[in-house]
């Protein structure tokens, strides 16, 4: 029985937390035709065992369990204002490894006893990006201490996965498990990202882009890779349990001495009992797919720069160099040292910088920069507006005072004129440079006159 036949024989039960909902929402068109699902968000280990007990049947030959995140993480309410709160996640700051190991040991034995030969595969969760998840929940609100709590939770979760794996290997050597970090950090491009989790602070952790939608749940791309990973792991485990081994034929002496690329293997037909059997000669393994050259060598420069205007080309195809992904941005190695400007001149035109990959960190940084620019421009415009308004007020005030529209100004001007007129009418006896034609135009009032006039007014 082959590995593919073993997957398709009977049914497969996938049980776990909310990540199983993503597997159910993006099923593999080939592998998921005989798969049953059962999931519960944030499920704990004892509830996970109960979920399997309630859904496992005799026809389930394979059981895949996706859990353990809820045992180390918890939801909590973060207060944004007096009337608004948001639900975030953080570490429980506990060590549930001992309880998990005991529960897994007893549950695994009981399920295998129900049907000998049943394969049960446990999966250790990938690392959770608490900072990205909580930042997405907070949106544009002030993070406060949320970022520090998220980094600390990421660090504690990494330590939890490390301890759980070590205890599993030592305490449960006969119970198979797989690590979903092999899917999240698959490939050479993500090796440096995985190495960042050896840091002493969660602030230095770097996650791949476009694989986790919210820092916790897998994207459609990661779900497809998880299906393939589960199938390969089940196949390898079945081969190990059934005693199947992969035999690799040694290379022939002739091909080993050649430096050139080995030729295509020849097919030789051998008569055996009236039927023909195929044999492959050469050092190539017939069960390995031919390697595809994804990046063929480009033509010479003078060929690519030749004039094709006379040719009848329906459309133009532009080939780009492969892009390396690091953290939350993509880049290409520049041919020349970059300058401070946004682009530099080249013989064939202007070379513009490549697009930046979107991420929550890039989003928040761009929003913060935009807010600062808008605020600075607003303060500048407000200062200019205040200056212009002050000038307009002064000009209109002077104009209104000149035209006599302000009563207070009219009263003050009359008082001033009366004082000036009195001074000119009765100057000081020793005053010089007098206006003689203005003197004594009005009668000078004495104390008696002023008192009598005041009495008459009463």
**pLDDT-wise least confident of 202-216, 299-313, 357-371:** 299-313
pLDDT, greater one: 179 or 117? 179
Mean pLDDT, rounded, of the chain:
76
Q: Of 317, 181, 235, 165, give the one whose Cα is nearest residue 9.
A: 235
d(CA 458, CA 447): 17
pLDDT, greater one: 179 or 252? 179
Domain boundary residue among 241, 272, 306? 241
d(CA 197, CA 172): 25
In a domain, 385, yes or no: yes
Q: Is the pLDDT of residue 94 over 70?
A: yes
Are 157 and 91 spatial neighbours (Cβ–Cβ below 8 Å)?
Answer: yes
Instruction: Tell me the CA end-to-end span of the chain in Å, nearest whole number.
Output: 131
* 52: containing domain: 3-241
Residue 244 has what pLDDT?
A: 62
Indicate left, alpha or beta for 215 from its phi (over 0: left) and psi (-120 to 50: alpha): left
In a domain, 36, yes or no: yes
Q: Of 244, 227, 321, give the one whose Cα is nearest residue 32.
A: 227
Element (H, E) at 278: strand 275-281
- 3-state class of 255 per DSSP? helix
* pLDDT above 90 coverage of the chain, percent: 38
237 plus 385 within the same structural domain? no
pLDDT band at 425 (very low <50, low <70, confident <90, very high): confident
pLDDT, greater one: 457 or 216? 216
**pLDDT-wise least confident of 18-32, 83-97, 229-243, 435-449:** 435-449
In a domain, 294, yes or no: no
- Counting the structural domains of the chain, the total is 2
* Overall average pLDDT of the 170-195 stretch: 90
Indicate left, alpha or beta for 272 from its phi (over 0: left) and psi (-120 to 50: alpha): beta
* Overall average pLDDT of the 132-158 stretch: 90
Residue 444 has what pLDDT?
A: 58
d(CA 206, CA 328): 8
In a domain, 303, yes or no: no
Q: Of 115, 97, 108, 242, give the one whose Cα is nearest residue 168.
A: 97
pTM of the model: 0.55
144 plus 7 within the same structural domain? yes
Helix intervals (H) in 294-339: 301-304
235 plus 366 within the same structural domain? no
Residue 433 has what pLDDT?
A: 60
In a domain, 107, yes or no: yes
Q: Is the pLDDT of residue 457 over 50?
A: no
d(CA 372, CA 248): 64
* Overall average pLDDT of the 303-330 stretch: 40
pLDDT band at 443 (very low <50, low <70, confident <90, very high): low
221 plus 368 within the same structural domain? no
pLDDT, greater one: 312 or 106? 106
Residue 361 has what pLDDT?
A: 72
pLDDT digits (tens, 9 = 90+) for 269-296: 444 444 444 444 444 554 444 454 544 5
pLDDT band at 183 (very low <50, low <70, confident <90, very high): very high
In a domain, 124, yes or no: yes
Are 15 and 47 spatial neighbours (Cβ–Cβ below 8 Å)?
Answer: no
Domain boundary residue among 223, 241, 259? 241
* Overall average pLDDT of the 77-94 stretch: 90
For residue 140, give the CATH number of its domain. Answer: 3.40.50.1110
Are 83 and 100 spatial neighbours (Cβ–Cβ below 8 Å)?
Answer: no
**pLDDT-wise least confident of 76-85, 87-96, 165-174, 176-185:** 76-85
* Overall average pLDDT of the 329-339 stretch: 45
pLDDT, greater one: 371 or 90? 90
Quote the tokens at residue 315: 């459309």
365 plus 235 within the same structural domain? no
In a domain, 453, yes or no: no
Residue 308 has what pLDDT?
A: 45
pLDDT band at 83 (very low <50, low <70, confident <90, very high): confident
In a domain, 17, yes or no: yes
pLDDT band at 142 (very low <50, low <70, confident <90, very high): confident
d(CA 155, CA 165): 16
Domain boundary residue among 181, 216, 241? 241
Element (H, E) at 370: helix 360-403
Residue 340 has what pLDDT?
A: 42
pLDDT digits (tens, 9 = 90+) for 202-236: 888 999 988 999 999 999 999 999 999 999 999 88
């Amino acid at each position: 029985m082959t590995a593919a036949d073993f997957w398709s024989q009977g049914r497969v039960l996938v049980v776990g937390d909310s990540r199983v909902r993503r597997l159910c929402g993006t099923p593999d068109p080939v592998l998921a035709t005989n798969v049953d699902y059962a999931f519960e968000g944030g499920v704990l280990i004892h509830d996970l065992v109960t979920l399997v007990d309630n859904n496992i049947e005799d026809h389930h030959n394979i059981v895949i369990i996706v859990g353990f995140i809820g045992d180390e993480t918890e939801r909590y309410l973060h207060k944004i204002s007096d009337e608004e709160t948001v639900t975030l996640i953080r570490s429980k700051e506990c060590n549930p490894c001992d309880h998990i190991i005991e529960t897994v040991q007893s549950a695994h034995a009981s399920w295998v006893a129900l049907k000998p030969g049943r394969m049960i595969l446990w999966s250790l969760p990938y690392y959770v990006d608490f900072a990205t998840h909580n930042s997405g929940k907070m949106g544009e609100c002030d993070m406060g201490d949320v970022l520090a709590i998220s980094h600390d939770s990421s660090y504690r979760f990494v330590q939890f996965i490390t301890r759980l794996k070590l205890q599993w290997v030592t305490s449960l050597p006969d119970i198979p498990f797989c690590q979903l970090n092999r899917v999240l950090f698959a490939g050479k491009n993500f090796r440096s990202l995985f190495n960042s989790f050896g840091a002493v602070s969660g602030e230095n952790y770097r996650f791949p882009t476009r694989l986790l939608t919210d820092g916790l749940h897998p994207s459609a791309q990661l779900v497809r890779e998880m299906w393939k990973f589960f199938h390969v792991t089940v196949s390898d485990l079945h081969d190990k349990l059934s005693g199947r081994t992969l035999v690799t034929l040694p290379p022939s002496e002739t091909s080993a001495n050649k430096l050139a690329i080995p030729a295509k293997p020849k097919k030789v037909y051998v008569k055996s009992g009236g039927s023909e059997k195929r044999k492959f000669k050469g050092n190539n393994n017939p069960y390995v797919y031919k390697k595809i050259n994804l990046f063929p060598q480009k033509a010479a420069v003078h060929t690519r720069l030749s004039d094709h205007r006379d040719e009848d080309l329906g459309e133009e195809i532009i080939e780009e160099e492969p892009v390396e992904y690091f953290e939350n941005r993509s880049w290409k190695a520049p041919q020349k040292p970059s300058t401070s400007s946004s682009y530099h001149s080249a013989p064939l035109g202007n070379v513009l910088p490549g697009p930046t990959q979107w991420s929550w960190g890039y989003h928040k940084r761009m929003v913060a920069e935009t807010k600062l620019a808008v605020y600075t421009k607003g303060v500048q415009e407000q200062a200019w507006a205040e200056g212009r308004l002050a000038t307009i007020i002064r000009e209109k005030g002077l104009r209104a005072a000149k035209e006599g529209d302000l009563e207070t100004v009219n009263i003050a001007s009359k008082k001033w004129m009366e004082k000036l007129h009195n001074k000119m009418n009765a100057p000081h006896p020793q005053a010089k440079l007098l206006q003689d034609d203005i003197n004594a135009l009005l009668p000078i009032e004495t104390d008696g006159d002023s008192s009598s006039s005041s009495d008459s007014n009463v």
